Every structure is written in structure tokens, then in C-alpha cells.
Amino acid sequence: MIKAQDLIEKVLSYNPKSDTDMIAHAYAFGEAAHNGQFRKSGEPYFTHPVAVAMLLTEVRLDDATIVTALLHDTVEDTEATYQQLVNTFSPEIAQLVDGVTKLTNLELSSVETKQAENFRKLLMAMSKDLRVLLVKLADRLHNMRTLRSMPKEKQRQKAFETIEIYAPLAGRMGMQFIREELEDLCFRVLNPEARNSIMRRFINLSKENDDLIPRITEDIRIALDGAGVQARVSGREKRPYSIWRKMEEKNEPFSRLSDIYAFRIITDDVQDAYIALGAVHQRWSAVPGRFKDYISQPKSNGYRSIHTTVSGRNAKRVEIQIRTAEMHQVAESGVAAHWSYRGGQRAENPFAVDPFRWLRSLAERFEASENPDDFLEHVKLEMFQDQVFCFTPKGEVVKLPRGASPIDFAYAIHTRIGDSCVGAKVNGQRVPLWTKLRNGQSVEVIRAEGQRPQASWEDMVVTGRAKSAIRRYLRDEHRDAHIRLGREIARVSLGRVGKKPTDKALDTAAKLFNLSNGQSLLAEIGAAHISGGEFVKTLYPELVKTGIAQGAGSDEERVIGLSPNQSASPAPCCAPVPGERIVGIAMPGRGVLIHAIDCPILEQFEGNDRRWVDLRWTPDSSRAGNETKIEVAMANDAGVLGRICTLIGEHGSNIVNIGFTNRKPDFYRIRLDIMVRDIEHLTNVETALNADSDVAEVVRFRDTSLCELAQNGGRKIPAE
């Protein structure tokens, strides 16, 4: 285990004015608090906090952060308390430890909605003091380094959570060395075969080119000396995960990749960086399309560097990055550069960006987001995407993710411009709105006051800002129609258990669904995000449990042919209605399932005559409502869904539930559970829908998998 003095000496190497007594006290406090605790590997538990603290010294962090690292698990895993840390150290350190504890308790790899809510909490905790995140990232890095002692399933869970959240978050915060190592450690767990394959190819490549990196490094030094540039030059092979990702993105084999080797030139100032670029391009041929100048156009996380790919020794393509020492510090440590010390003083780095700027922009951009999953999706897009730089007609720079379209460009300027976009010109030429923009292009947005966002736009954009604005507009536009439809579904669904959709009932149910009010609940029901069955089950679970919602006890009275005391219920696969020929299949211990005579599932019972029950409908069976399912393919245009629902209502049928089974830019396929009297009534409804010009197809929906589950001993599936 790293000794206290070793840690202190590392801190003193960059901060001679460090409060070494406080660090020594924290070391002793943490060691005593964790005494008797051990990690899964068998090591004393305190080896972990010390390793986290040592990691943070690599980015020259302040005393408070180092002490927080030593104490970050004490409140959660020992008898130490928050107030004890306040009294023993300071309120600042106690708050930092508390922040790390809260981050640790967030289950970011849980189900999606919970994951989204917890990620929102993570961003809120980060916004108070980013040093909390720095400690957490170092904590996760050390845990990933020592993951092998944990069960395989736990390893995969942690690796998935890390590569989904923490690695891209480290990259977005500019901490590249942490991001790259986290990705590679996750790669080792999640796809060991692919990683081992790449490692074998690296070994073979090293045998073929044993001294290639030293020779190219020396070639670069000679070229720089000739140009009179003093610089540090280093070379390396890229990490396996980085290589694998490029193979996936470019769909190329290992042998054809052009940037397996990467070299860095660290100069004293910006002028020397550009002189070094000229020397490199004079010495070797530049590869077209592989030049990026992030010094003149920095990334939003503060990253500055010149990237170029050249055909080096033996025609090997190599990537070269050129930057100054201060730029290199920001490139490696990102937001940590704000707390970095040198010579006992906080090091002022002119290239370090405001670490809270991105968090503030997220808060402003997504404060109107009602859907936690949308919020998480947008944040992931913000973290994952590389950037391209485009220009407005006035020469202003707009930063966008790779793959962005002119619609993304329009929304990046202003929501109003995005909403009214009807076309775009790229470098003076009219292009389709789905065109992918490239670096350096000039983009002019063509607008029309009457234009409004289209549903198909969502498939054309990649930025969270554009997706959020489009969804918000479409949601608001259809909200009134969704509320009307939702109210009808709620009325019918509650009517089946003898209840009414009063304002109080709706508001009560809304709280159970974590929605603001009853109107929001109706909108969700009308938009098919919540089914009528879910609504009733949540509000009146006991009524559903006792079978009232399915009309238990009434089906036996509507069919003829059952034995005394024999129960019956419609088969969920075909949902037969009066007027259709029917047959019963006796299910041991479960009564009789009523099937339409043409139900495909009946083929499974051929040759088993004892299970068949000859049934027919009673003369008055069509007096009550009978639930069945239809599937409708309709045009994806405004008002079509509302018109379909109106047609169904005009023909005396109620919609019990509605769900979207397929959403495309040009059409929707929806599934409707409707109440009809009999087969004639159902045929009339289908005919009316087929007559609508925006309806492509109406079919009776039958799902044999529902019955197959029941026959295999599964739970009884309600007909709704």
C-alpha cells in the first residue's frame, strides 16, 4: 500500500505550499475508519482510497480534492459521520465527501427511466462542485483496474455503466487519459475476443516493425531541428478500443487502418506549432482529408491541437498531433486544469474553459424536457459526438456533432430559425435537409414563416437541441388531440370497472405516474405512452386483481355448450366476437378458452379431440360490448390519427387501448383495441376506415404468441 509520506511527497512536487499536516491527518483518519475492512481481492480496503488520491496527483489537484479522495468512502462505509468531517477537517471537505457519496449511490446502470432520473441528479451534483466528479472518475478508474476479483456478471454491469456514462463523461470534461483507459478496461470485459484479436495483431505488427516508433520519432526530431523548432516528440500505438472503434466505424480490417500509430509534438508556443506543421508537411506527404486545426477552432471542452496524417517511413500512415505544453495539459486533464497547482500556486491556464459552461447549457437546453429518457438521450449525444465546424453566411462559426444536418445547424443558431427551416444551401448549392455537413462548409438556412417542424425531421437530426425542439413542438401541437382521445380511452377503461374519470381520479392517477396533473395523464394516454389497462390497474389494482376489469363471470353466459360449473374466457390470440364461428379448448385447471374457428393456434390441437368443446354464441351475446384488436397502417400526417378515432366513434365503437407498433417518416402502424357488438359491427368499422384516403391497410390483429404462453403454463393473459 502507498505510504502517507509517498503521497505527500508527490503533492509537494507540484505544490510546495501544501498543507501536509491535513493530508497526513486525513490519511490516518481514513486508515483507522476502514480498519478491518477488505476488498474482494483480499487487500485492505484503504488501499483503494489511497490509490484514488495518488491518481489525482497526476493532474496536480489541490489539497481539498486529495483529502476528499482519502475520505470519499468513510461516510458511506464506516462509522464516520458528515458532522465529524466538518469538525475534524472543514465544511468544504465534508461537502465534497458527501457529494461523492451521493454519486456513488446513484444506480446509473438500472432500468432506463430510473437511469435517466439518476443521471439528472448526477449532473446536479456536478454543477455544485466539479471536484466531486474528478474524485468519482478517479474512483471508477481504480475500481475498473481492479475489477477482476468481482463476479463476472458484476464486472459486465460495471463495465457497461462505465462505457455508457463515465467514459464519455470523462471525455466531455476533457480528461482524455481517464477516458481512454476506462474505455479499454471496459473493452476487456465486454468484448474480450475482439480485444485479444487486436492485441495479437499488435504483437505481429511489432515483430515486423520492431523499431518503427523510435525511427519515426527520430525522423520528426530531425525535421523540427531543421526548422529551428524546440519541441518534445513522443510516439505510441493507439489503445485496442480506439482501434476497434475505428474498424467498426470505417468497416475496414486492421491491416487497412491508417492511424494505428500516433505521435505528439509539444512546442513552447503557438507560432512554433505552426512552424512544426510546415516542417512535417515538407518532410512527408499529407493525407488528403485528414487535417484538422483545433487551435484556430477549439472543441467546446477546451481541446486545442493540430491533427494531421502523413505517409511516413516505409509509406506507413501515421497521425501527428501538434500542440503547446499548456494545450497539452488541457488535452490530458480537461476541467482538472482549473484546480491544477504548480510551484505552490493555482496554475492559470489560458486554454482551460469554464468547467461549468457545458452544465449551464444543459440546464438551459433541457429544462423544458418532460421525458427523462429524452433528457438522457440528449446528454449522451452531447458527450459522444465528435465535432465539425461550419460557417454562417456572415462567417460566424457553428460547432456541431459529426453527422449533423442543416436542420441541426438551423436549431443551433436559434429555435425559431429551426422551426421555420424549409431548405438550405451549402457552399452556395441547394441541398436536401438530410445532407450531412462537413468541416469548413458555409451553410445558409432558407426559411418560410408558415413552415413548422415535421415528424420526419427527427430522423434527420443528431443534436439534442434539435431533437428536443422538434419533439416539444410536435408534442404541443398534438397535445389537445391527445387529451381528447385520452379522455375517451379513460372513460371507457374506467367504465369497465364501474368508475368515472373525475378530475380528482385523474389527478390522483397522475401522481402515481409521476406526472404533473390529470391533463398530462390524459395526454400520455392519448399518445399511447400509457395504456388504458395500465391506467386502470394503477388507480384501482384491487378491482383488476379480482377480475372486474375483464368482466369475470359474464363470458359463460354468452356461449352455449359448456358443462356445469365450467368457466370460459375469450382467447387473447384471436379475441373472437359474436357472429364468428367459435370453438372451445379445455385448458386443465384453467377452464375453456374461446377461439375463432380460423385461429391458427387450433392446429396445435389436431388429434386431441378430448380438449375440443363445441360452442356457439347465445342469441343475445351481441348486446354487450366485445373487445377485439385491429391494426391500421396510416399516413404520417397531422390530423390523421384524430380522424381515425372519430370514425371509430361515429360507428358506435369505443377505443379501449391504442399503441404504435411501427413509426416511419411516411407512415405509422397502430394497434387498436376496440369494443364492438359483433362481427357485422366490426366489418362496418373496418370498411369505414379502409375508405379513408390516408389509410393504407386495416387488418384484424391476431397474436398466437399470447396463447402459446398460456398453454405453456404461463400466467393468464387478460383479453384487454
Active site annotation includes 76: yes
387 grid coordinates: 465535432
Contacts by residues 257-261 (CB-CB < 8 Å, ≥ 24 positions apart)? 258/287, 258/290, 258/309, 258/317, 258/319, 259/309, 259/317, 259/318, 259/319, 260/205, 261/212, 261/213, 261/216, 261/235, 261/236, 261/237, 261/316, 261/318, 261/319
Q: Tell me the CA end-to-end span of the chain in Å, nearest whole number.
A: 62
* 690: CB partners within 8 A, 6+ apart: 698
CA distance 304 to 324: 9
What is the CA 676 to chain-centroid distance, rounded? 41
Write a three-state SS string for 130-164.
CHHHHHHHHHHHHHHHCHHHCCHHHHHHHHHHHHH
CA distance 599 to 582: 9
The DSSP bridge pattern shows strands 306-311 and 285-286 to be antiparallel
**What element of type H or E holds 534?**
helix 532-539
What share of residues in the chain are helix, strand, coil (percent, to 5)? Answer: 50, 15, 30
How many CB atoms within 10 Å of residue 289? 9
CA distance 466 to 115: 22
How many CB atoms within 10 Å of residue 163? 20
Task: Give the ranges where 130-269 is alpha helix by DSSP (H).
Answer: 131-145, 152-161, 167-172, 176-190, 192-208, 212-227, 240-250
19, 43, 76, 458: which is the annotated catalytic residue?
76
Backbone angles phi, psi at 604, to 5 degrees: -70, -15
Secondary structure of residue 461 in the 3-state scheme: coil
Amino acid at 202: F
C-alpha R_g of the chain: 32
Cβ neighbourhood burial of 157 (10 Å; 0-12, 13-18, 19+): middle
Active site annotation includes 193: no
212 close to 238: Cβ distance less than 8 angstroms: no
Secondary structure of residue 393 in the 3-state scheme: coil
CA distance 113 to 679: 41
- HSE-CB at 626 with a 13 A cutoff on CA atoms is 28
19, 31, 43, 77: which is the annotated catalytic residue?
77
CA distance 62 to 18: 8
Name residue, grid cell 486545442. Answer: 304
Please give the DSSP secondary-structure letter assigned to residue 339: G
Positions marked active-site: 76-77
